[in-house]
């Protein structure tokens, strides 16, 4: 049975992106491969396995559920859950050797209580999350004394980390530097009581604009998949760093017909033909992740030609203009994102057309759509 739509993931592209990114980092800096959100829509299991084979030092996911699944097939690599630990999951983390995030005093106290009761068993691997200015997860600066005062020799603080607000743009450099300074206060407080945790502050962007932001480890997310965090970063770095998009998204033509002038296309006649028009119906819509906001405003590739979407993106279907495509027939391959012939449609192009960012385009591709590993 043929898939009506599918995603192809180039494992070679992922490996090369990791290798190339490592070259721009200071020597000795570790890489944490971030495979949260189904590996940014690319397929968690494919991408985690590829990252491990490429020599990354860590994996990161957002949920304990993802960590448990990955641990079944990856026994030794450290895995960090970025979401603050739910108290009921502490024992799972201990049993499976999964690193946990703590970002609030009540949870820290619960974890310490658990640890004191289970002192003879293996240590929990704890990363403390610092809110240095994003106002999301994390301890605030005025909590530093309380946090440090709670720790004892039985508590293993493996990592200390934060997340930047706008490291992908130079206009936020001063804000980013202020976050660094706040983070360093925390690092010094831990050093003063004999803790030397792994320090990690940056996702893909940070070290590319400010090399000092690498610290001990970088959380490589969007860059691992061959996408740039921003056009500004791309313009600054593309001559020094080669990133190759790993994802191609495809479907097939399901029906071809010719309609007359003044014919309405899609719901609410959201496009009206002004001439006799040959159209192709594609079995893909917003359920699959095609942005409804891109109505009348995106192209797909059929037989190497750009074909404009006509009318509204529907739940399971959309319609494209194939007037200029010779011999198009049902079953022809259609590229939503990727290459065909001499043409390319990127996640960045689709994001611009949909009024969003490349992150959202790829992460919203429905996880039920098959991900197929290719070289």
In tens, the pLDDT along 213-259 reads 799 999 999 999 999 999 999 999 999 999 999 999 999 999 999 99
Residue 34 has pLDDT above 70, yes or no: yes
pLDDT in tens, 73-83: 999 999 999 99
Residue 107 CB neighbours (<10 A): 17
- The tokens describing 261, both together, are 């002038």
Q: What is the pLDDT of residue 178?
A: 96
Average pLDDT over residues 353-360: 97
Is the alpha carbon torsion for 74, 78, 81, 85 positive or negative? positive
Rounded distance between C-alpha atoms, residue 178 and residue 69, angstroms: 38
In the prediction, which pLDDT does 134 show? 97
Model pLDDT, residue 118: 81
pLDDT for residue 163: 97
Residue 260 has pLDDT above 90, yes or no: yes
- Tell me the C-alpha distance between 35 and 51, whole Å: 9
15, 30, 36, 250: the catalytic one is 36
Q: State the binding site.
A: 136, 315
**Structural domains in the chain plus CATH codes:** 11-227 (3.20.20.10), 247-374 (2.40.37.10)
In 77-134, which residue ranges form alpha helices assigned H by DSSP? 90-96, 105-117
Average pLDDT, the chain: 96
Lowest model confidence (mean pLDDT) among 166-180, 316-330, 341-355 = 166-180
Q: Which of 49, 100, 104, 105 is nearest to 77 (CA)?
A: 49
Residue 120 is predicted with a pLDDT of: 64
In the chain the first and final C-alpha atoms are separated, in Å, by 23
Query: Distance between alpha carbon 314 and the CA centroid of its chain, in Å?
Result: 26
Helix residue ranges, H only, 172-263: 173-192, 206-209, 231-237
Is 36 one of the catalytic residues?
A: yes
Tokens coding 131: 């809110």
**Residues with Cβ within 8 Å of residue 171, at least 6 apart in sequence:** none
Residue 194: phi and psi, rounded to 5, are 90, 10
Handedness of CA 360, 365, 366, 371 (dihedral sign): negative
Q: What is the pLDDT of residue 116?
A: 86
**Whole-structure pTM value:** 0.96
For residue 51, pLDDT over 70 is answered with yes
pLDDT(204) > 90: yes
What average pLDDT score do residues 175-198 get?
A: 96
What is the token pair recorded at 152? 């004892």
Q: Look up 175 and say whether it is catalytic.
A: no
Average pLDDT for residues 323-336, to the nearest whole number?
97
Q: What is the pLDDT of residue 212?
A: 67
List, for residues 261-289, the tens digit of each pLDDT value.
999 999 999 999 999 999 999 999 999 99
Which residue has 């040959």 as its token pair? 278
Q: Mean pLDDT throughout 305-313?
A: 98
pLDDT score recorded for residue 117: 86
Biggest CA-to-CA distance, the chain: 79
Q: Stretch 358-364: mean pLDDT, rounded?
A: 98
Q: Is 106 exposed, middle or buried (0-12, 13-18, 19+ CB in 10 A)?
A: exposed
* The pLDDT of residue 236: 92
pLDDT in tens, 82-134: 999 999 999 999 999 999 999 999 999 999 999 888 876 788 999 999 999 99
Find the DSSP H helices in 309-357: 347-354
Q: Which residue has the tokens 């502050």?
A: 201
Residue 362 near residue 41 (C-beta atoms within 8 A): yes
pLDDT at 2: 73
Mean pLDDT for the stretch of residues 28-39: 98
Does position 339 have pLDDT exceeding 90, yes or no? yes
């Amino acid at each position: 049975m043929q898939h009506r739509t599918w995603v192809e993931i180039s494992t070679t592209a992922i490996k090369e992106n990791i290798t190339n990114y490592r070259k721009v980092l200071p020597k000795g800096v570790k890489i944490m491969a971030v495979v949260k959100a189904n590996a940014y829509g690319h397929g968690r299991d494919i991408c985690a396995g590829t990252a491990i084979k490429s020599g990354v030092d860590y994996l990161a996911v957002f949920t304990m559920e993802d960590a448990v699944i990955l641990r079944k097939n990856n026994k030794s690599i450290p895995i960090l859950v970025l979401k603050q630990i739910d108290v009921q999951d502490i024992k799972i983390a201990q049993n499976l050797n999964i690193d946990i995030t703590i970002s609030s005093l009540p949870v820290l106290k619960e974890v310490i209580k658990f640890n004191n009761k289970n002192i003879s068993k293996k240590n929990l691997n704890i990363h403390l999350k610092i809110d240095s200015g994003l106002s999301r997860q994390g301890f605030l600066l005025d909590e530093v004394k309380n946090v440090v005062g709670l720790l004892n020799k039985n508590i293993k603080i493996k990592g200390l980390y934060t997340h930047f607000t706008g490291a992908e743009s130079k206009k936020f450099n001063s804000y980013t530097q202020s976050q660094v300074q706040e983070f360093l206060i925390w690092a010094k407080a831990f050093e003063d009581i004999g803790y030397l945790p792994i320090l990690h502050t940056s996702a893909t962007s940070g070290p590319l604009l400010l090399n000092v932001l690498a610290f001990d480890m970088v959380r490589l997310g969007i860059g691992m998949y061959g996408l740039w965090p921003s056009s500004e970063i791309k313009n600054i770095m593309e001559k020094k760093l080669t990133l190759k998009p790993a994802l191609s998204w495809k479907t097939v033509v399901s029906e071809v017909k010719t309609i007359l002038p003044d014919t309405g296309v899609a719901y609410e006649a959201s496009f009206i033909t002004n001439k006799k028009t040959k159209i192709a119906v594609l079995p893909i819509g917003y359920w699959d992740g095609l942005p409804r906001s891109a109505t009348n405003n995106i192209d797909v590739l059929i037989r190497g030609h750009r074909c404009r979407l006509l009318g509204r993106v529907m739940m399971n279907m959309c319609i494209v203009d194939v007037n200029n495509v010779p011999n198009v027939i049902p079953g022809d391959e259609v590229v939503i994102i990727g290459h065909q012939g001499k043409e390319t449609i990127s996640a960045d192009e689709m994001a611009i057309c949909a009024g969003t960012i490349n992150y959202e385009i790829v992460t919203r591709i429905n996880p039920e759509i098959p991900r197929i590993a290719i070289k």
